[in-house]
Amino acid sequence: MKWVFTYLKPMRKRLAVGIGIKTVATLAELMIPFLLTYIIDNVIGKGTGDNVGRIVLFGVIMALFAAAAAVGNLVANRMASKTTMLFSTRMREDLFSKTLSLSAKQTDAFTVPSLESRITSDTYNVHNFVATIQRMAIRAPILLLGGISITLLMDWRLSLVMIATLPLIFIIVYTIARQGVPLYSRVQRSVDGMVRVVREDAQGIRVIKALSKVDYENRRYDEANRVLCKDETRAGTVMGASNPSMTLLMNLGIVGVVALSAYLVARGLSTAATVIAFMQYFTLVSMAMLSLSRIFVIYTKSAASARRIAAVLECESDLPRRQDDGKGSADCHISFEGVSFSYLGKKKNLDNISFSLKKRQRLGIIGATGSGKSTVIRLLMRQYDADEGCVRINGKDVGSYTKEELTAMMGIVLQNDFLYAETVLENICFGRELSTEAVEKAAKIAQAHDFISAFPEGYLHGVTTGGTNISGGQRQRLLIARAVAASPDILILDDASSALDYKTDAALRQALRLALPDATVVTVAQRVSSVMGCDLILVLDDGKLIGCGTHEELIKDCGEYREISESQMGGAFLD
């Protein structure tokens, strides 16, 4: 929880003013029962002629104290809301920014559903704690300590009865709070599981309906929901025991106070006014203890959530920038030197991959599903670091480039890329300051201009999240337009034309050659027709490089490539 206070530190002046106002308001509230006792004992009890005037005067004073308490609490609570809003805004911004900066390996470790729930439910729990601390954590201790202090001065014997219950209450709250943190940590993990199911179903809703698997997905969600309900029930049952336990002890204390006060009043050792004021103070102390109990419950939730948030915020980069070893050749634009890599550290997903590519050349990567094609791209983009060997761009280790330098070189279309719920124009611009001419040029290269122009709104046509209101081929062409819009040095197309017909695919490849003559193009594909024109083709199988060369060389020397070629086109390829 320490990191929470680093966010509150810049707002310490606002916090100090709010705490000051809350303190004054609470002290004013504490004075009301004391004034009532004074009026009963020293004004009404005197029986003088000007009693009515004095009663009215002290009544006005009590009203002023009540008004001061009400106004002070209102102002302090409004300031607390503003402070909490500023705190939460900054916390969420930093957490979201950190989430986007995580490496692919770190994202895999946290999982996307868990990161989503940390940004949503976990930040809400911490937000709620900060708000509660400002509203209750100032008022409750003052009421508790102030009430006990005043009652000790009024009648120490009655006060000791009340004080006797406090250690028992503290033990109960402390014991329950210790159990709460692990319980709510488990609840948040269950939330992650439910978010994962909802996220998967939302993304695959069309497939689910097409395969009539709605009932199956309902059962899967029900199971995740059942686990969450079970964990929430366990946590709620344990934490819910605090209030009834405290109420029982406080009521027993009240019974003790009433019995003792009746005895003292009957023997003239105390007064009715003192008992009335004492009961009011006892009520205030009881409310303070209940507020403290609620704070502990909220704290347990917040502590569990704060740990999860801190795990992300304090996560250090596992892809630090390193010095280049100077062993690369500047003649090679892209090169892999004995590269091996494993996602889980067990089976090698890439095994001793080596090749080199000069600037302006085109690289094709082909192979069966799971052969390691996309892994080559991820290492080139430095989403992961190779376990063995070295990946170089322009003769330099990719690890020697800053993230900004590396991404500025590349235009990328990945298999599972995404589109915003925005216009076609914004989806191609992708937050970059591109002119309309540059966007249209990119769309023409990507063979997208014609279908975009056919929309009534043209480039202002709205695209739904994920591009569900356009076809798969149109979606891919918009993504390609986004990639080529900034004229990258390296253009990576990871299965980016799988939804295109052969004619459009051929036209796209021809347009890319003409429009980006200086770019090095890397094409990952399942179709031989998409890579046959490349200067170098890699054939991968189970993470191993089983063929490397031009189309003609592979047809002659690589049986697996020749088999793929013949199965797809019967050996005949036409652009």
How would you list the strands of the sheet with 544-549, edge to edge?
Answer: 396-397, 388-393, 334-341, 350-357, 544-549, 536-541, 362-367, 520-525, 490-494, 410-413
Instruction: Indicate the residue among 313, 347, 370 that finishes a domain.
Output: 313
Q: Are residues 355 and 425 in the same domain?
A: yes
Q: For residue 278, which of 382, 164, 162, 369 has the smallest C-alpha distance?
A: 162
* Whether 289 and 380 share a structural domain: no
* 3-state SS assignment for residue 135: helix
Give yes or no for residue 157 having a pLDDT over 60. yes
Average pLDDT over residues 96-102: 91
Shared-domain flag, residues 361 and 474: yes
pLDDT tens digits for range 536-546: 999 999 999 99
CA 533 to chain centre: 44
pLDDT band at residue 573 using 50, 70 and 90 as cut-offs: very low
CA dist 482 and 467 (Å) reads 14
- Count Cβ neighbours within 10 Å for each residue of 341-351 and write b for 16 or more, e otherwise: bbeeeeebbbb
Q: Are residues 281 and 383 in the same domain?
A: no
**What is the 3 state secondary structure string of 464-495?**
CHHHCCCCHHHHHHHHHHHHHCCCCCEEEEEC
Instruction: Write the pLDDT tens digit of every residue in 222-251.
Output: 998 899 899 888 888 887 777 787 778 877
* Residue 307 and residue 358 in one domain: no
Residues 250 and 396 in one domain: no
- Contacts by 4-11 with C-beta closer than 8 Å and gap 24+? 4/126, 4/129, 4/130, 4/306, 7/87, 7/90, 7/91, 8/83, 8/87, 8/130, 11/83, 11/86, 11/87
CA distance 217 to 196: 12
Same domain, 368 and 257: no
Q: Does residue 562 lie in a domain region?
A: yes
Answer whether 139's CB lies under 8 Å from 285's CB: no
* Final residue belonging to a domain, choices 282, 313, 344: 313
Domain identity same for 47 and 177 = yes
Q: Tell me: pLDDT of 574 over 50.
A: no
Q: For the domain that residue 459 is a member of, what is the CATH number? A: 3.40.50.300
Taking residue 2's Cβ as centre, other Cβ atoms within 10 Å add up to 7
Domain-located, residue 323: no
Residue 300 has pLDDT above 90, yes or no: no
Strand ranges in 316-393 using DSSP code E only, listed in sequence order: 334-341, 350-357, 362-367, 388-393
Q: Is the pLDDT of residue 45 over 70?
A: no
**pLDDT per residue as tens digits for the range 382-415:** 989 999 999 999 999 999 999 888 988 998 988 6
Q: What residues contact 322, with CB distance under 8 A and at least 6 apart?
A: 397, 399, 400
- Model's pTM, two decimal places? 0.75
What integer best gives the mean pLDDT of the chain?
85
Tell me which of 474 and 330 has the higher pLDDT: 474
Strand partners for 355: 336
Residue 71 pLDDT level (bands cut at 50, 70, 90):
very high
Torsions phi, psi for 224 (to 5 deg): -65, -40
Of 83-97, 144-158, 302-316, minimum mean pLDDT range: 144-158
Domain count, the chain: 2
| Residue labelled with tokens 């900066």 | 101
Domain boundaries, position 428 = 334-569
Residues 406 and 512 reside in one and the same domain = yes
Q: How far is CA 23 from the centre of its chain?
A: 35
With tokens 């709250």, the residue in question is 173
Domain with residue 46: its CATH number is 1.20.1560.10
Q: What is the pLDDT of residues 322-336, one digit of tens each?
A: 898 888 888 889 999
User: Which residue, of 313, 346, 377, is where some domain finishes?
Assistant: 313
For residue 94, which amino acid is it?
A: D
Q: Does position 46 have pLDDT exceeding 70, yes or no?
A: no
Four-point Cα dihedral 21, 27, 29, 32, nearest 10: -140
Q: Is residue 456 part of a domain?
A: yes
Q: For residue 326, tell me if it sits in a domain.
A: no
pLDDT at 496: 82
Give the rounded percent of residues in the chain with a pLDDT score beyond 70: 96
Place of tokens 């497939």: 207
- The length of the chain, given as a count of residues: 575
Report d(CA 496, CA 447) in Å as an integer: 13
**Average pLDDT over every residue of 32-48:** 69
In a domain? residue 319: no
The mean pLDDT value for 88-111 works out to: 90
User: Residues 6 or more apart from 37 whose CB is under 8 A from it?
Assistant: 154, 273, 274, 276, 277
Backbone phi and psi for residue 462, each to the nearest 5 degrees, phi listed first: -80, 135
Question: What does the pLDDT read at residue 492?
Answer: 92
- Could you tell me the pLDDT band of residue 569, with boundaries at 50, 70 and 90? low
- Pairwise CA distance, residues 165 & 248, whole Å: 10
Structure tokens at 554: 């592979």
pLDDT of residue 49: 52
Structure-model confidence comparison of residues 341 and 564, the more confident one = 341
Mean pLDDT of 473-491: 90
* % of the chain surpassing 90 pLDDT: 26
User: Is residue 550 one of the residues assigned to a domain?
Assistant: yes
Residues 412 and 449 in one domain: yes
Contact 371, 538 (CB under 8 A): no
In a domain, 324, yes or no: no
Phi and psi (nearest 5°) for 353? Answer: -90, 125
Q: 262 and 353 share a domain?
A: no
Are residues 284 and 405 both part of a single domain? Answer: no
* DSSP-derived pairing of the beta strands 490-494 and 410-413: parallel
Residue 574 lies in a domain: no
